């Protein structure tokens, strides 16, 4: 029961991303940079306290740099999506990650396309058709939804990349290096990052990093260790439900019947892939 509670709390915490994104008057780039920077310190101290070796092999370093690039893409596009569109659209398009894994795994990992994957993709397609389709056979697709889909793609690619290195690298070390390299990579967007010294901003960013990267990640890893990838991924559906709730409760966003039905189909397709095709979003 403890494992289920810890895992649920982790995803409930992550579901509230929309709150700081909407209330803090900072760009997605500034928020991403400071989150990764402070998370590097938090997980660095954790690994030091646990006396974990931080030595990397060349192959691990290579994949970590790729993984960090995908993490940066996922983080920025998801935060932009939450800023530009409704919480429900942002999180539902973001949760296409299992679908992207199912599509890309046969190409990258040489896995077979199963009947479950074909069925899930068909269901997801109808879900998008219901949400974004119009009676004149056109689509009402906004920029926020596009960024949400892009974040799902980045997340899916990061899952596939992580599969190649998690066998030889423990999760805590991976999170540390992922944040270190992501902080460095985010300097590419230096012109969009506010680097002026602001004590209040630094305190807020540290607290957010501690909550979302420190506490939530620790609870998630605890659940992952005790429950396994499949069960943990299924519990992860607390996140989209929570995000939709926060959007409705705090920001008075309306839930249309199209979003409810289409969103259910999209999430159900991801559930089918995760549960019956053995694809775990670890």
Range of the domain at 267: 2-276
> How far apart are alpha carbons 205 and 227 in whole angstroms?
31
pTM: 0.90
108 in any annotated domain:
yes
Task: Rank 53-62, 154-163, 188-197, 272-281 by mean pLDDT and report only the highest.
Answer: 188-197
Task: Give yes or no for residue 281 having a pLDDT over 50.
Answer: no
75 in any annotated domain:
yes
Retrieve residue 164's tokens.
């190649």
Per-residue exposure over 24-62, b if at least 16 CB sit within 10 Å of its own CB, e if not: eebbbbbbbbbbbbbbbbbbeebbeeeeeeeebeeebee
281 in any annotated domain:
no
282 in any annotated domain:
no
Give the mean model confidence (pLDDT) for residues 259-267. Answer: 91
204 in any annotated domain:
yes
- Would you place residue 140 in the very low, low, confident or very high pLDDT band (cuts 50, 70, 90)? low
pLDDT of residue 246: 95
pLDDT of residue 282: 46
Give the mean model confidence (pLDDT) for residues 63-78. Answer: 95
Question: Smallest Cα–Cα separation from 170: which of 49, 47, 4?
Answer: 47
Task: Give yes or no for residue 137 having a pLDDT over 60.
Answer: no
Contact assessment for residue 156 and residue 98, using Cβ atoms and an 8 Å cutoff: yes
Lowest average pLDDT, out of 111-120, 182-191, 204-213, goes to 111-120
Task: Give yes or no for residue 280 having a pLDDT over 50.
Answer: no
pLDDT of residue 20: 95
Backbone angles phi, psi at 17, to 5 degrees: -50, -35
CA distances from 159 to 37, 46, 125, 210 (A): 22, 24, 22, 23
Radius of gyration of the chain measured on its C-alpha atoms:
18
Task: Give yes or no for residue 166 having a pLDDT over 70.
Answer: no
> How far apart are alpha carbons 81 and 142 in whole angstroms?
10
Determine how many CB atoms are found less than 10 A away from the CB of residue 229: 15
The residue among 270 and 191 whose pLDDT is bigger is: 191
Summarised one tens digit per residue, pLDDT across range 201-229 is 999 999 999 999 999 999 998 888 887 76
Tally of domains in the chain: 1
193 in any annotated domain:
yes
DSSP β-bridge partners for residue 139: 133
Give the mean model confidence (pLDDT) for residues 143-168. Answer: 86
Say what angle helices 87-94 and 238-251 make with each other, to 10 degrees. Answer: 170
pLDDT of residue 139: 59
Determine how many CB atoms are found less than 10 A away from the CB of residue 185: 18
**pLDDT, the chain, mean:** 88
Question: Smallest Cα–Cα separation from 54: which of 175, 211, 163, 164?
Answer: 175
257 in any annotated domain:
yes
Contact assessment for residue 148 and residue 99, using Cβ atoms and an 8 Å cutoff: no
> How far apart are alpha carbons 113 and 158 in whole angstroms?
20
Task: Give yes or no for residue 81 having a pLDDT over 90.
Answer: yes
């Amino acid at each position: 029961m403890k494992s289920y509670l810890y895992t649920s709390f982790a995803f409930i915490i992550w579901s509230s991303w929309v709150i700081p994104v909407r209330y803090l008057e900072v760009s997605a780039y500034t928020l991403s940079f400071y989150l990764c920077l402070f998370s590097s310190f938090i997980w660095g101290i954790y690994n030091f306290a646990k006396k974990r070796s931080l030595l990397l092999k060349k192959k691990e370093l290579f994949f970590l740099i790729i993984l960090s690039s995908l993490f940066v893409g996922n983080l920025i596009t998801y935060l932009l999506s939450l800023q530009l569109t409704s919480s429900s659209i942002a999180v539902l398009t973001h949760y296409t990650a299992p679908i992207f894994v199912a599509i890309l795994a046969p190409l990258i990992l040489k896995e077979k396309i199963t009947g479950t994957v074909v069925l899930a993709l068909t269901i997801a397609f109808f879900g998008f058709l219901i949400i974004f389709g119009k009676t004149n056979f056109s689509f009402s697709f906004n920029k926020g939804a596009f960024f949400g889909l892009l974040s799902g793609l980045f997340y899916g690619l990061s899952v596939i990349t992580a599969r190649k290195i998690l066998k030889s690298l423990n999760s805590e070390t991976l999170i540390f290096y992922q944040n270190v390299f992501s902080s460095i990579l985010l300097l590419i967007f230096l012109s969009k990052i506010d680097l002026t010294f602001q004590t209040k901003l630094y305190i807020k960013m540290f607290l957010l990093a501690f909550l979302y990267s420190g506490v939530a990640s620790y609870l998630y890893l605890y659940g992952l260790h005790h429950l396994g990838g499949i069960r943990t991924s299924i519990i992860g559906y607390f996140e989209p439900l929570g995000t939709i709730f926060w959007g409705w409760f705090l920001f008075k966003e309306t839930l249309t019947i199209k979003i409810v039905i289409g969103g259910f189909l999209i999430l159900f397709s991801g559930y089918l892939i995760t549960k019956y095709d053995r694809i775990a979003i670890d």
